[in-house]
Structure 1
Amino acid sequence: MKRAHILSTALAPFLGAALLASAQAPAAPAPAPAQTSPAQTAVPGQATQGNRPKLELQTLDPSNHPDPFPPVNQKYFTASTPTVATVDSFLKALWGYDPDRIWRVEAIQTTQAPGVSKVVVYVSDKKPNAKVSAASFFVLPDGKHAIADASGIISFGATPFADTRKTLEEHADGAHRGAAGKGLLLVEFADLQCPHCKEAQPTMDRLAQDFPNAQIVFQNFPIADIHPYAFKAAAYGYCVTKQKNDAFFAYAAEVFDKQAALTPATGDQTLKDAVTKAGLDPAAIDACASTAETKNAVQASVKLAEDIGVQQTPMLAINGRLLPLTSNLPYETLKTIVSYQAVQDGVSTGAAPLRQTPTLAH
């Protein structure tokens, strides 16, 4: 469920929360670098391939896959920061899970705002006759944040998810399952009255099965202005977790199953029935849920979500990398992203190795 604005399609390639957008989707035109002679295309600090900048994540046969991008013109690199290497690392962190995606940094320019740089990137893929799209974003003076159109401020840098990962390791305190360690930490931000969150639960169950080394946390993010019973459901869930961690998942499953009954007439009894289903005393949980301590804890969970940029539910943080669990996200793509992030962070997923198809001897 959306909490605020809808993320722009044109910005999707730059946001951890919208990695599913096609690199071939039309994007706002960027200032196209002028065609230059080979001697003019070199950019300081940019790796070169012959007389052209390297295409990231590319191993192309030039006869079948010619370079789709225009040559780089050095006059469009007027800012000293960020470096091309930093931008490439940032984009690799976002897009590296897709071996077919290629890009080139075409401009890093100063702007009228002191310390703010504009970055222009051209994107395509290895498919025949693939289109090239262009997009831009602005890197702020701290070098750790960027602005991508209406989507607001996003994390930026060679390791853009590191700070969020650390924050969640320290402060994500919801009910958890799976591994004891936090090397691979999957934090689901969800609202118990959110229909899309209900739909996402089978996906979370599959992740728990497919990634034994992952610790999976359910972090309450009730959107009370849309779902009147969400906050109380979260408060009950907090008290259930406090009394018995594993009982929360039975409680949550029952609440999701009975979402239609979360009405003024039947909502309170529905939550109590869910507590009973989880094997706990509903009277004790109800008393706990009404305390200031519990309400403050739920508010703290909401603030944690807002502080790291969560704007909709359900949202999954994969070692700090935010990704919405939308219906158009294929599970195999999600698995690929989780596996890729684990590799980037140097942690094991515990997933079973793929079976190798036997080959016949010649």
Structure 2
Amino acid sequence: MILKHVISSAVLASSFLGTGLVAQTAVPKPAAPPAAPLQLQKIGEQGKAVDPFPATNPKFFTATSPTTETVNAFLKTLWGYDSNRIWRVAAIQTTAAAGVSKVTIFVTEKTPNAKIQTTSFFVLPDGKHAIADQSGVVNFGATPFADLRKTLQDRADGPSRGPASKELLLVEFSDLQCPHCKEAQGTMDQLVKDFPNARVVYQNYPLVDIHPSAFVAAAYGVCVAKQKNDAFFPFAQAVFDTQAMLTPEDTKKTLDAAVTTAGLDPAAIATCAATPATKDEVNSSIKLAQDSGIDQTPMLSVNGHVLPLGGIPYETLKQIVAYQAELDGVTTGATLTGVPSLKPRTTPPPAKP
């Protein structure tokens, strides 16, 4: 369930770093792109593509930080999975706020008559965060997902599928009473099949303000997973399948039935779920979600790259998982067309402009 409208960096230019400005500033704006559609077609014997972007103007680069190289590395991390997307850093400017820089980007596609879009975001004085339109505050830098990747490797402790290795870690933040989370389970099952080397973790994030049965359902899930990790997934599916019965009158009966479906003793699980220790575990999982910047469900972290599970076509999601694995130098185990089983790097991948 969406608590706040958050747009992901995974969606094309209308998403993270969308075409709207975050705020107005008094600094000069880059020259506007040509009004007529641009012809991105092959010319000459060399077959080189026409450069669609206006030439950069040094007068629009008044800020010393971030550098063009860092911005390009950041955008490459976000957008590099899409080989059809191209961009140019048009401006990095000082603003009236000390240490805050405004970055303007021209972006388009490698298709004939594609139009240039302009998008802007603001880099904060720490150089590690940016404010980007409706996306709010996001991590910034050449490796923007590294810190969250490490946090989740250390703290994501929910029931899991796949290998023990956390080199390719997919963490689903989910709520057992959330209708959109129910819809996302087919996607999660397919990711498990398509990426054999991925460790896929279900992390409880009950949205207690809008789903009154979500906390106790999460507590049941914690206890089911403690008894048998693999039993959690049929339990969760049974809860999703009978989600409409999570009412004040029928929640316990519904959860007990789901435990039975998973092959465990409902009485034992109910006793476990009521203990302070189990409630503390659920609260710890909620805090992990909040510390990770998660404010809606279902959300998926791919080695720290957080994506809305309901907002991305599956084929695009596969590309992003494979690309993030390549950036991090890990293998996916995938054999399907378009998602290669990548070879590990011997050194960290360079930040490419």
Say whether the fold is shared (TM-score over 0.5).
yes
Which residue of 1 is the match for residue 159 of structure 2? Answer: 175
Q: Secondary structure at the match of 2:50?
A: coil
Identity between Structure 1 and Structure 2 (%): 60
Deviation at 1:21, TM superposition (A): 3.3
Which residue of 1 is the match for residue 5 of structure 2? Answer: 6
Deviation at 1:241, TM superposition (A): 1.0
**CA offsets, 1:33-89, max 9 Å, x none?**
248xxxxxxxxxxxxxxxxxxxxxxx9745684222211111111111111000000
Q: Secondary structure at the match of 1:188?
A: strand
Output the aligned Cα RMSD. Answer: 2.1
* Residue identity in the other structure for 1:108: I
Which residue of 2 is the match for residue 253 of structure 1? Answer: 237
Runs of 5+ in structure 1 lacking a partner?
36-58, 356-362
Cα distance in 2, alignment partners of residues 174 and 213 from structure 1? 18
Which residue of 1 is the match for residue 189 of structure 2? Answer: 205
Which residue of 1 is the match for residue 129 of structure 2? Answer: 145
Cα distance in 2, alignment partners of residues 23 and 325 from structure 1? 17
Pairs within 5 Å for 1:31-180 = 32-34=29-31, 61=42, 65-180=49-164
Question: Bigger CA drift: 156-165 or 143-152?
Answer: 143-152
Which residue of 1 is the match for residue 328 of structure 2? Answer: 345
Cα distance in 1, alignment partners of residues 229 and 265 from structure 2? 14
Q: Secondary structure at the match of 2:88?
A: strand
* Residue identity in the other structure for 2:104: V
* Residue identity in the other structure for 1:293: A
Pairs within 5 Å for 1:316-355 = 316-326=300-310, 328-352=311-335, 354=337
Deviation at 1:150, TM superposition (A): 4.1
Cα distance in 1, alignment partners of residues 136 and 270 from structure 2? 39
Q: 1:296 aligned to 2:293?
A: no
Question: TM-score, normalising length from structure 1?
Answer: 0.84
Cα distance in 2, alignment partners of residues 306 and 60 from structure 1? 46
Q: 1:21 aligns with which of 2, 12, 36?
A: 12
Q: 1:216 aligned to 2:215?
A: no
* Residue identity in the other structure for 1:209: K
Deviation at 1:134, TM superposition (A): 1.0
Paired residues of 1:111 and 1:118 also in contact (CA < 8 A): yes
Paired residues of 2:13 and 2:19 also in contact (CA < 8 A): no
* Residue identity in the other structure for 2:30: P
Paired residues of 1:122 and 1:133 also in contact (CA < 8 A): yes
* Residue identity in the other structure for 2:2: K
Deviation at 1:354, TM superposition (A): 3.7
Deviation at 1:218, TM superposition (A): 0.2
Cα distance in 2, alignment partners of residues 249 and 82 from structure 1? 45
Cα distance in 2, alignment partners of residues 190 and 21 from structure 1? 25
Cα distance in 2, alignment partners of residues 311 and 110 from structure 1? 31
Which residue of 1 is the match for residue 270 of structure 2? Answer: 286
* Residue identity in the other structure for 1:200: A
Structure 1 pair 203–150 and aligned structure 2 pair: CA distance change class (3 A): closer
Cα distance in 1, alignment partners of residues 41 and 170 from structure 2? 35
Deviation at 1:18, TM superposition (A): 4.1
* Residue identity in the other structure for 2:329: G
* Residue identity in the other structure for 1:345: D
* Residue identity in the other structure for 2:261: K
Q: 1:305 aligns with which of 255, 266, 289?
A: 289
Paired residues of 1:118 and 1:137 also in contact (CA < 8 A): yes
Pairs within 5 Å for 1:186-205 = 186-205=170-189
Cα distance in 2, alignment partners of residues 109 and 85 from structure 1? 15
* Residue identity in the other structure for 1:33: P
Q: Secondary structure at the match of 2:301?
A: strand
Deviation at 1:180, TM superposition (A): 1.3
Cα distance in 1, alignment partners of residues 190 and 18 from structure 2? 33
Cα distance in 1, alignment partners of residues 260 and 13 from structure 2? 46
Which residue of 2 is the match for residue 54 of structure 1? Answer: none
Cα distance in 2, alignment partners of residues 214 and 193 from structure 1? 26
Structure 1 pair 300–166 and aligned structure 2 pair: CA distance change class (3 A): same
Pairs within 5 Å for 1:234-249 = 234-249=218-233
Structure 1 pair 235–62 and aligned structure 2 pair: CA distance change class (3 A): farther
Paired residues of 2:13 and 2:107 also in contact (CA < 8 A): no
Cα distance in 1, alignment partners of residues 9 and 92 from structure 2? 23
Which residue of 1 is the match for residue 347 of structure 2? Answer: none
